[in-house]
Amino acid sequence: MIEPEYVFIPLVAMAFTLLATPWFIRRLSDAGLTVKDMNKASKPDVPEMGGLSIVAGFVVAVLFSIALGNGSFDMTLLLSGLSVVLIISIIGIIDDLIYVRQSTKALLPIFAALPLVAVKAGVTTMTFPVIGPVDFGILYPLLLIPIAITGAANACNMLAGFNGLEAGIGLIMCATIAFVSIIVGESEAFILSAAMAGALLAFLFFNWNPAKIFIGDSGTLSIGAVVASSVIIGDIERVGAILIIPFFLELFLKVRGKFRMPSFCGVEGGKLVCNKKSEVYGLGRLVMYLSGGITETRLVLTILGIEIVFAVIAVWSVV
């Protein structure tokens, strides 16, 4: 059951992240933890690892929900979901600080799934179109949960590279899951997704074009962890599957490029361009190519618009 006071959860996450992010911007800049913004002609240095402020806001909001202490949620499930995010954020921090091979980074989120596996989160029976319900039994916690956490984390880390894109897509997905959680009455899923949505909304004030801070792997991996954990705990896997469809297009295009091509392509006259069809190795590059050149803000809004379409479909699938 979703209690009325839960409305404060995203607000707490938002407030804390709004206050924390400027501090992180200063400290990361002073520490030299910056990267070039390759989508700008001037290639400015921008602090990375902004995911730290997102995770901080998320954690504070989840702890706030626990402090409310109204007993309307399963503490074990909520803490297991929180643990998944904390573990995967540490993996992201390590990758932000030192180079981790792509193949290794793709598999590390498996360890983050262990808390959900340990508590046997979710329902082992899933309903599929045409074939109907299928009970996966022990395979659900031992196989499907690790695959879901790993897949969602890597997906959110893959569709990235533009100011506001990662946080924007994460906000749409988490807000959608929170809304669906209200419909189906899943408190734990709501708390996790609403807390992340609030933190991401605040972070966007600093990450929108021109970005003052980048999200980093600590942020993208954490978004994926929240999405996967929420839909598993809330037994709304179908919603998660629909929301992640645009990432499959990104994966298909990345496979074509053998994962060697970056998201950015070229900057001409203040617009991002990708003039060669043979270089369309990502959703961002596809938008550049089809538009014949587009500003970074318009590109991000286009991709966010695509995600919103699937968010509407996801909500429609449960009403």
Cβ atoms of 205 and 137 within 8 Å: the answer is no
Cβ atoms of 120 and 141 within 8 Å: the answer is yes
From 285, 307, 308, 280, select the one nearest 296 (Cα to Cα): 285
pLDDT of residue 125: 85
| 264: pLDDT strictly greater than 70 | no
Containing structural domain, residue 194: 4-244
179 lies in some domain: yes
Mean pLDDT of the region 45-52: 94
| 234: pLDDT strictly greater than 80 | yes
d(CA 225, CA 219): 10
| 132: pLDDT strictly greater than 90 | no
Residues 6 or more apart in contact with residue 140 via CB below 8 angstroms:
122, 123, 124, 126
In this structure, what token pair is assigned to residue 191?
Answer: 């708390």
pLDDT of residue 183: 95
The 10s digit of each residue's pLDDT in 52-90 is 999 999 999 999 999 987 667 889 999 999 999 999 999
| 274: pLDDT strictly greater than 70 | yes
| 43: pLDDT strictly greater than 80 | yes
pLDDT of residue 266: 73
272 lies in some domain: no
90 lies in some domain: yes
Instruction: Give the range among 22-36, 103-117, 190-204, 297-311 with minimum mean pLDDT.
Output: 103-117
| 270: pLDDT strictly greater than 90 | no
Residue 1 pLDDT class (50, 70, 90 cuts): low
65 lies in some domain: yes
Mean pLDDT of the region 186-206: 97
d(CA 220, CA 192): 15
pLDDT of residue 74: 87
> How large is the angle between the packed helices 75-97 and 51-68, nearest 10 degrees?
170
Mean pLDDT of the region 106-116: 90
d(CA 36, CA 32): 12
Domain count, the chain: 1
Q: What is the dihedral of CA 229, 230, 236, 239, to 10 degrees?
A: -100
33 lies in some domain: yes
* Percentage, residues of the chain above pLDDT 90: 68
Cβ atoms of 265 and 274 within 8 Å: the answer is yes
In this structure, what token pair is assigned to residue 290?
Answer: 């089809």
Q: Which residues lie across from 237 on neighbouring strands?
A: none
129 lies in some domain: yes
From 256, 1, 16, 143, select the one nearest 24 (Cα to Cα): 16
Mean pLDDT of the region 262-279: 76
Mean pLDDT of the region 158-169: 94
Residue 152 pLDDT class (50, 70, 90 cuts): very high
Strand spans (E) along 195-257: none
From 2, 239, 234, 236, select the one nearest 121 (Cα to Cα): 234
198 lies in some domain: yes
Strand spans (E) along 9-141: 34-36, 45-47, 125-128, 132-135
pLDDT of residue 261: 61
Residues 6 or more apart in contact with residue 32 via CB below 8 angstroms:
none
Instruction: Give the range among 5-9, 105-109, 263-267 with minimum mean pLDDT.
Output: 263-267
In this structure, what token pair is assigned to residue 233?
Answer: 């705990």
pLDDT of residue 75: 92
Q: What is the mean pLDDT of the chain?
A: 91
236 lies in some domain: yes
pLDDT of residue 129: 75
Report the largest interatomic distance among the alpha carbons of the chain, rounded to a whole angstrom. Answer: 58
Burial grade of 245 (CB within 10 A; 0-12, 13-18, 19 or more): middle
